[in-house]
Copies of this chain bind each other. A is one copy, B any other.
């Protein structure tokens, strides 16, 4: 009896998940093998770029990094909470009508850790997709934690219709081995790879304008070529990125003419072309 009830609940949940997700035209996950490569920065600025370019109020951003959620801080939304209604919880609303869901909106304080093992994490991500009233969206971006463990596996399993993944890396060779794992992981799970972004690619000194390759350069492109995966672009190091992120302002909105914003614009173009090609009959 108990088992049957559970099965029925599972079926109900699956159909709710399907109904909710059908209203979202495109879903793109941002992954990386290694942490601290600018995955969240990429996710936030991609979401804002798409909202800016004709999709205002129609872009969602799921912060699926349960242990280290940073999306709300970068969008100046860390004081917000999820509003709960009879049909589910509603995402918090950020700049340009961006709909955002994050553990930050659920936890009691920023210093509270999420001390969860794998199975509970799978459950949490399922709830973020099933119990949240995302509404009609053109795009949902999913910011996943680094690595190839429970959270990415859960998202790929729950969303077989995923348009693809954007893989973020930094140019150092130490990172290259790890980004190759992310490529193999996506291929094994049959998830299309939209392309690779190389972040923190060179630093131009604001005083003397000389460039230093703090983490080298070109590593992302080399890995892309080696594995026949598209290369989306190279984002340079800019201290204003950290500064804007810390103040909760999306970098590309504050510095639209910077080299880093131009790099983001080119990446967005390539993702748009990928989606258009996919939609062609």
**Distance, CA A148 to CA B35, complexed state (A):** 14
Residue of B nearest to A214 (CB): B239
A145 at the interface (CB under 8 A from B): yes
Q: Is A173's CB under 8 angstroms from B73's CB?
A: yes
A281 at the interface (CB under 8 A from B): no
A194 at the interface (CB under 8 A from B): no
**Distance, CA A122 to CA B210, complexed state (A):** 47
- With A153-B117, A173-B73, A177-B73: A68-B146 Cβ-Cβ less than 8 Å: yes
**Distance, CA A156 to CA B239, complexed state (A):** 36
A121 at the interface (CB under 8 A from B): yes
Query: Which residues from B are CB-within-8-Å of A237?
Result: 214
* Nearest CB on B from A169, distance (A): 10
A95 at the interface (CB under 8 A from B): no
Residue of B nearest to A73 (CB): B174
Interface size for A (C-beta < 8 A) is 63
A127 at the interface (CB under 8 A from B): no
A67 at the interface (CB under 8 A from B): yes
Interface segment, one of A45-53, A86-94, A200-208, A257-265: A200-208
A172 at the interface (CB under 8 A from B): yes
Interface segment, one of A12-20, A129-137, A181-189, A266-274: A181-189
**Distance, CA A61 to CA B27, complexed state (A):** 40
Residue of B nearest to A147 (CB): B67
A242 at the interface (CB under 8 A from B): yes
A246 at the interface (CB under 8 A from B): yes
**Distance, CA A113 to CA B153, complexed state (A):** 12
A160 at the interface (CB under 8 A from B): no
Q: Is B148's CB under 8 angstroms from A113's CB?
A: yes
- With A68-B33, A173-B73: A181-B112 Cβ-Cβ less than 8 Å: yes
Task: Flag A103-145 by CB within 8 Å of B: 1 or 0 each.
Answer: 0000000111111111101100000000000000000000001
A245 at the interface (CB under 8 A from B): yes
Select A172's contact among B119, B145, B177, B245, beta carbons within 8 Å.
Answer: B245
Query: Which residues from B are CB-within-8-Å of A37?
Result: 35-36
Select A118's contact among B111, B150, B208, beta carbons within 8 Å.
Answer: B150
Query: Which residues from B are CB-within-8-Å of A172?
Result: 242, 245-246
Chain A, 152-179, CB within 8 A of any chain B CB: 153, 170, 172-174, 177-178
Q: Is A216's CB under 8 angstroms from B246's CB?
A: yes
Q: Is A185's CB under 8 angstroms from B115's CB?
A: yes
Residue of B nearest to A172 (CB): B242
* Nearest CB on B from A139, distance (A): 23
Cβ-closest 5 pairs across A and B: A35-B35, A36-B36, A118-B118, A67-B147, A111-B180
Q: What are 26 of the A-B contact pairs (CB < 8 Å)?
A: A40-B174, A67-B146, A67-B147, A67-B148, A74-B174, A110-B180, A111-B180, A111-B183, A114-B148, A115-B149, A115-B153, A115-B188, A117-B149, A118-B121, A145-B146, A150-B150, A172-B245, A174-B246, A203-B212, A205-B208, A205-B210, A206-B212, A208-B210, A213-B239, A214-B242, A216-B242
